[in-house]
Amino acid sequence: MDENKKAVNPSVKQETEKTEKLAAHTADSSGELMTNNHGTRINDDQNSLKAGERGASLLEDFILREKITHFDHERIPERVVHARGSGAHGVFKVYKSMADVTRAHFLSDESLETPVFVRFSTVAGSRGSTDLARDVRGFAVKFYTQEGNFDLVGNNMPVFFIQDAIKFPDLVHAVKPEPDNEIPQAASAHDTFWDFISLMPESAHMIMWVMSDRAIPRSYRMMEGFGVHTFRFVNAEGVSNFVKFHWKPLLGVHSVAWDEAQNISGKDPDFHRRDLWDAIESGNFPEWELGVQIVPEEDEFKFEFDLLDPTKIIPEELVPVQRIGKLTLNRNPDNFFAETEQAAFHIGHVVPGIDFTNDPLLQGRLFSYTDTQLIRLGGPNFHEIPINRPVVPVHNNQRDGFMRQTINRGKSSYNPNTIGNGYPLQAKASEGGFTTYPERIDAKKIRARSKSFFDHFSQAQLFFNSQSDPEKNHIIDALSFELGKVNSVEIRHRMLGILSMIDKSLAAAVAFALRLPVPQDPELPMNHSIPADGNPADFDSVIFEASLKSSAALSMANTVKDTIATRKIAFLAADGVDEKSLTKVRAALEGAGAVVEIIAPRLNFIVSEGDEQIAVDHSFLTAASVLYDAVYVPGGTNSVATIEAEADAVHFLNEAFKHCKPIAADTGAAQVLEATYFSKKIPSDFSDQTVLREGIVVGDDADSLADKFILAISQHRFWEREKPRKIPA
Ligand code: HDE
């Protein structure tokens, strides 16, 4: 853990210009008397006004009426997509001036600290759905800059399902619960989704990402973010460069196992929300570096793909990601509804120096985000909700509307005017006025898809080829699961056709699980998203092989693995535990930044061999191995005997093994490991037994055991253990 973090006292809320401004709208009732909404003090909040003790309630009761009316109106529509989310405040600092490529003030000077509010989300589920759905994650950042708000509304995957905004309602209708019975919640494993996908070959690349473990992150703090579209940077001279935005988490990119995800959904559906909250409360501030890939205007056509196509990445081998600044989340919201729920992001909130391209998905989003707030937040004044206000003043001639907060003085609300002396004045570019990049467009008005968007498979192949073997297996398992939940054989079959265009071995493996034949030399899947009269650009699909065969940045296996900061480690112990090894291993893990929790048969405390009371965090009733990154069993004769005989403890270890997690035990506790399924039942014909022992540390010297355990935890998971497969837990 870096020194700065240790110095922070998390009980002191981290303030920025934005959070200070929010304070003006923040209420705290400590020490106050109760009033109604109009300030009249309330004497009885327990009883409504009645005609006599047992009599009917009286309409006159303004206190009851106000309270119930407000309650009746507490809910607002949830977001149509990305309904389930969690937010946090923080700051962004650029490492060095980017003035050569952008005139954006917040990227111009490393001494500037820009307040931000970030909201992470799943896409398909409702507000109350599980965090661990197999789904894309939203990664939306609102920068409160001195030139107004800049919203980078991205995802944790760098591409999207569709190429044109007009298909978005179809995509979302297909993935949301089916309309007749509203099943399933927060899941893509159903017929309508795969029906649509199997008819939309342009989704092939995104499907590889969504079926990879990226869709089941270990934590919001351990996932990447991407702006997805190609944007523009424009500098003070008016020179434009294309830019792709990336967020790179300093803890590396890590995921859970699918079986684990499904278990977490029951044990703690708020797993990601809680993880983010706890990390910030304990001063372990999540951090990401902002990366940019910059492409000069003159290189627009030098790639094998179209920069405007949102189903394509620019491989990092072709254009390296420059890390230009750091985002730190350092303060939890005071009120979920007021801040996280009412936050209104919009891809069209830009500042001078950042501009759009003609990506047809981006162009459609530019319409959607304000439109959706009008219904969700109830009118055109949502920008006045405290969380949405910029830190700089707002002056224009827009007036009135539901819930208007600002009291605009004066008679003129139009421009030009003389009555208001012409104010507010338009800002010159030199005064920070936004000027649109004057891109030249000479074109006919047509509805068509550009031919340069017709290659749907080369980057899906690139993604699959770039994965490690365990990652490839997980994609196969994910597709087998999802298509296994599809009832229509025709849809399953059509999907195998799509998969065989991506990779024959992938299609064969999924076909094996579904017990279906792989379509032999399938016709290029028909893209049904073409107009009734055909595509004016001539729909001849293109089969394309990318020159680049593999890209290291696409595999999570290649990300940071040298820290155990914030990892949660379970210690399984009972009365009679050897407190010396427990204390030493705990100190070593906590010293390396991990969070240790003691789990025992009963709550409150255990008594050690040396008669010390040790606080217990959870009993086996409320804890589960899926909520931890690793598990340790300390020695102590009585403790070991109790743990060995405790079915929940043995189950805990079996499950941790199944999910490929590091396991440690004192030599004196090794017998507990012997009681587990994985010790006894590893198939004897499985040749590589050593693989199964990786990540399992047993020893009697606490210091060396801790060192080896820390190394193992930093590896995250030992996926090789999955090779023999099928270990029940
Ligand atoms: Fe969104 N999207 N989206 N989207 N999106 C919304 O706006 C939309 C797309 C993303 O935490 C909605 O305020 C269209 C891509 C995030 O509040 C809505 C299209 C990417 C969030 C909307 C897209 C995103 C949203 C719903 C295709 C990644 C949550 C509520 C043209 C780059 C923001 C809201 C938050 C939310 C529309 C595609 C990211 C309906 C029409 C691509 C992170 O306006």
Residue 123 above 90 pLDDT?
yes
User: What pLDDT score does 526 carry?
Assistant: 60
User: What pLDDT score does 152 carry?
Assistant: 98
User: What pLDDT score does 536 carry?
Assistant: 56
HEC-encoded secondary structure of 79-147: CCCCCCEEEEEEEEEECCCCCCCCCCHHHCCCCCCEEEEEEEEECCCCCCCCCCCCCCEEEEEEEEEEC
Type and span of the H or E element at 572: strand 568-572
Atom of ligand 1 nearest to the CA of 168: 27
User: What percent of the chain is modeled with pLDDT above 90?
Assistant: 87
Tell me how crowded residue 481 is: count the other CB atoms within 10 A of its CB: 16
If you average pLDDT over residues 155-159, what whole number do you get? 98
DSSP string, 383-423: GGSGGG--SS----S----TT------SS--SSS-STTTTP
If you average pLDDT over residues 472-494, what whole number do you get? 97
Ligand 1 contact via 363 beta carbon (within 6 Å): no
**Digit-coded pLDDT (tens) for 222-252:** 999 999 999 999 999 999 999 999 999 999 9
Q: In angstroms, what is the span from residue 153 Cα to ligand 1's centroid?
A: 7
Residue 544's pLDDT band (cuts 50, 70, 90): confident
**Digit-coded pLDDT (tens) for 318-329:** 999 999 999 999
Do the domain assignments include residue 195? no
Q: In angstroms, what is the span from residue 672 Cα to ligand 1's centroid?
A: 49
Residue 675's pLDDT band (cuts 50, 70, 90): confident
Q: How far is CA 634 from the centre of its chain?
A: 35
Residue 686's pLDDT band (cuts 50, 70, 90): very low
- How far is it, in rounded angstroms, from Cα 143 to Cα 94? 12
Atom of ligand 1 nearest to the CA of 87: 11
Ligand 1 contact via 152 beta carbon (within 6 Å): no
Residue 472 above 90 pLDDT?
yes
Torsion of CA 405, 410, 413, 415, to 10 degrees: -140
Do the domain assignments include residue 430? no
User: What pLDDT score does 4 carry?
Assistant: 43
Q: Is 155 annotated in the active site?
A: yes
Is the preceding omega at residue 416 within 30 degrees of 0, hence cis?
A: yes
Do the domain assignments include residue 61? no
Ligand 1 contact via 140 beta carbon (within 6 Å): yes
- Of 349, 368, 388, the residue at which a domain comes to its end is 388
Do the domain assignments include residue 104? yes
Which residues have CB under 8 Å from 319's CB, separation 6+? Answer: 244, 293, 294, 295
User: What pLDDT score does 543 carry?
Assistant: 64
Catalytic residue among 82, 229, 346, 716: 82
If you average pLDDT over residues 569-587, what whole number do you get? 97
Strand 605-607, strand 322-331: pairing? unpaired
**CATH code for the domain of 700:** 3.40.50.880
- How far is it, in rounded angstroms, from Cα 313 to Cα 624? 38
What is the domain range of residue 580? 561-722
For residue 242, the SS3 value is strand
Ligand 1 contact via 228 beta carbon (within 6 Å): yes
Type and span of the H or E element at 181: none
pTM more than 0.80:
yes
Which residue in this structure is represented by tokens 């008016």? Answer: 238
**CATH code for the domain of 376:** 2.40.180.10
Token output for 271: 């797993």
**Digit-coded pLDDT (tens) for 412-453:** 999 999 999 999 999 999 999 999 999 999 999 988 888 899
**Digit-coded pLDDT (tens) for 634-670:** 999 999 999 999 999 999 999 999 899 999 999 999 9
Mutate to test the pocket of ligand 1, among 86, 153, 206 (most ligand atoms within 8 A of CB): 153
User: What is the residue with the minimal CA distance to atom 16 of ligand 1?
Assistant: 138
Atom of ligand 1 nearest to the CA of 140: 43
Number of structural domains, the chain? 2
Is the preceding omega at residue 424 within 30 degrees of 0, hence cis?
A: yes
If you average pLDDT over residues 83-110, what whole number do you get? 98
User: What pLDDT score does 248 carry?
Assistant: 98
- Of 371, 388, 405, the residue at which a domain comes to its end is 388
Ligand 1 contact via 345 beta carbon (within 6 Å): yes
Catalytic residue among 149, 155, 332, 535: 155
User: What pLDDT score does 181 carry?
Assistant: 98
Do the domain assignments include residue 480? no
User: What pLDDT score does 2 carry?
Assistant: 44
Range from 8-12, 289-293, 427-431 carrying the lowest mean pLDDT = 8-12
Range from 499-503, 612-616, 663-667, 686-690 carrying the lowest mean pLDDT = 686-690
Do the domain assignments include residue 179? no
- Of 368, 388, 408, the residue at which a domain comes to its end is 388
User: What pLDDT score does 15 carry?
Assistant: 95
Ligand 1 contact via 153 beta carbon (within 6 Å): yes
The distance in angstroms from the start CA to the end CA of the chain is 34
Select from 280, 7, 256, 268 the least CA-distant residue to 118: 280
ipTM value, please give it: 0.98
Q: Please, which contacts does 331-334 make with residues 24 or more away whose CB atoms are closer than 8 Å?
A: 331/13, 331/14, 331/15, 331/19, 331/88, 331/89, 331/90, 331/280, 332/88, 332/89, 332/277, 332/280, 332/281, 333/87, 333/88, 333/89, 334/22, 334/26
Whole-number mean pLDDT of the chain? 93
Atom of ligand 1 nearest to the CA of 362: 31
Tell me how crowded residue 49 is: count the other CB atoms within 10 A of its CB: 15
**Digit-coded pLDDT (tens) for 708-725:** 999 999 999 999 888 765
If you average pLDDT over residues 542-562, what whole number do you get? 86
Ligand 1 contact via 165 beta carbon (within 6 Å): yes
Rounded to 5 degrees, φ, ψ at 642 are -65, -45
Angle at 471 between CA 691 and CA 201, to 5 degrees: 160
Q: Which residue has the higher pLDDT, 452 or 619?
A: 619
Which residue in this structure is represented by tokens 């035990």? Answer: 665
Do the domain assignments include residue 135? yes
User: What pLDDT score does 377 carry?
Assistant: 98
